[in-house]
Amino acid sequence: MRSSRLLHIPFWLTYVFLYAPIVVLVVMSFNSGESAYTYEGFSLKWYGELAQNELVLKGLVNTLIVATGSTLIATVLGTLLAVGLARHTRSKALEALALMPAVLPDLVIAIGLLLFFGMIQLTLGRYSVVLAHGLFAMAFVAAVVRTRLSGADTSLEEASRDLGAGAVTTFMKVTLPQLAPGIVAGALLAFTLSLDEFVIAFFTIGNLEQTLPIVIYSMIRFGVTPEINALAAILLLVSFTAVIAGQRLTKIGESRAQD
C-alpha cells in the first residue's frame, strides 16, 4: 500500500523526535570536557561532581521526603477513595471531584494552594509540598485502583458480607489482598509523579528549600553544564525504571485477576 508507506515518515519522525533529545542529553553527561555541547571524550567526572554538590544533595533529600510523604498520603487516601467510589456510592459528582486534581492545570492548583497555605499561615517548605503533592497523587492512585476494582469479581466480597463480615473486615481480608498489585502500581505512579513534579512544588515550597527539579531549574539559569546533564540522566533512569516496573506490576495483576 502506497499511502501506508507514506505514513511511515511521520511515524519514525515521532520516535526520533521523542528520543533524540534524551539520547543527546545522556551522551553529553559522559563528556570529559567542560561544555554541554561539544563531546570531547568519555568520563564519569560529572557524576562525581554531583556527589559533592551540596545543593543537589539537599535537593535529593527534600525530593525523597516529599515523594515518600505524598506517596503515603496518596496511597492510603486514594485506595480508600477508590473503594468508596466503586462500592459505596453512585454519585457522579464525587467521582468527578476525585479526578479533578489530575485534570485541572497544575498552575491553578499551585496558586490555589499558595493562597490557602498563606491564609492558614502554614510555613512553606518541604512539608507543605508533601500536602500539595498528596493531593494530585491521590487522584492518580484512586484512578488506577478504581480501574482494577471495576474489572474485579465482586462475588468474593458478597460472600464475605453474606457470612456476616462487616465492610471494614471485608475490605481488609478480601478486597485489599485482591487489590494489592493495583495499589503498588498506584503508589509507584504517585512516587514518580512527585519526583518529577515542578510547578506545584515551585509555588508551594517557599524560598528556603528546593526539590531536585527546582535545583535543576535554578542551575540552568546560571548556564548549561555537563553536571546538569549527569543529574538529568540519573533522574531519567529512575523514572524509566519506575514506569516499567509499574507496567510489569499492572500486567501481573491482570493475569492474576484472570485466573
Partner 1 sequence: MSPSRGRRLGAFVFLSPGLTYLVVLLLVPLAMVLSYTVFQRGRFGGVVYEFTTENFTRLFDPLYLGVVVESLKMAGLATLIALLVGYPTAYLITRLPGRWKTVALVMVVLPFWTNFIIRVYAWIILLSGEGLINSGLEAIGLGPYELLYNQGAIVTGLVYSYLPLMVLPLYATIEKLDPQLREASANLGASGFTTFRRVTLPLTLPGVMTGSLFVFVPSLGNFVIPEMLGGGKSSMVGNLIRKEFLSARDWPFGSTLALALIAALLVLLVVQAWVARRA
Site for partner 1 in 194-233 (CB under 8 A): 195-196, 198-199, 203, 213, 216-217, 220, 224, 228-229, 232
Q: At its nearest, how many Å lie between partner 1 and the CB of residue 45?
A: 18
Q: How far is the CB of 212 from partner 1 (least distance, A)?
A: 8
| Residue of the chain from 43, 47, 65, 116 that contacts partner 1 (CB under 8 A) | 116
Rule CB under 8 A: choose which of 32, 89, 150, 255 binds partner 1. Answer: 89
Q: Alpha-carbon distance 69 to 15, whole Å? A: 35
The residue written with cell numbers 486534581 in the block is: 101
Among 17-25, 42-50, 52-60, 64-72, which window interacts with partner 1 (CB under 8 A)? 17-25
Neighbours of 229 (CB within 10 A): 21
Alpha-helix residue ranges (DSSP H) falling in the chain: 2-29, 45-52, 54-87, 92-103, 106-119, 126-151, 155-162, 167-170, 176-196, 199-204, 212-221, 226-258
For residue 31, state whether it binds partner 1 (rule: CB under 8 A): no
Q: From the list 143, 156, 167, 245, which residue makes contact with partner 1 (rule: CB under 8 A)?
A: 167
Task: Find the shortest distance in angstroms from Cβ 134 to partner 1.
Answer: 7
Site for partner 1 in 45-84 (CB under 8 A): 73, 76-78, 80-81, 83-84
Q: Residue 85 burial by CB count (10 A; 0-12/13-18/19+): exposed, middle or buried?
A: buried
CA distances from 130 to 70, 82, 254 (A): 5, 21, 31
Q: Which of 16, 32, 55, 240 is close enough to bind partner 1 by CB under 8 A?
A: 240
Is 97 a binder of partner 1 (CB under 8 A)? yes
- Distance, in Å, from the CA atom of 257 to the CA atom of 147, rounded to the nearest integer, reads 12
- For residue 172, state whether it binds partner 1 (rule: CB under 8 A): no
Cell numbers given for 69: 510523604
Residue 127 binds partner 1 (CB under 8 A): no
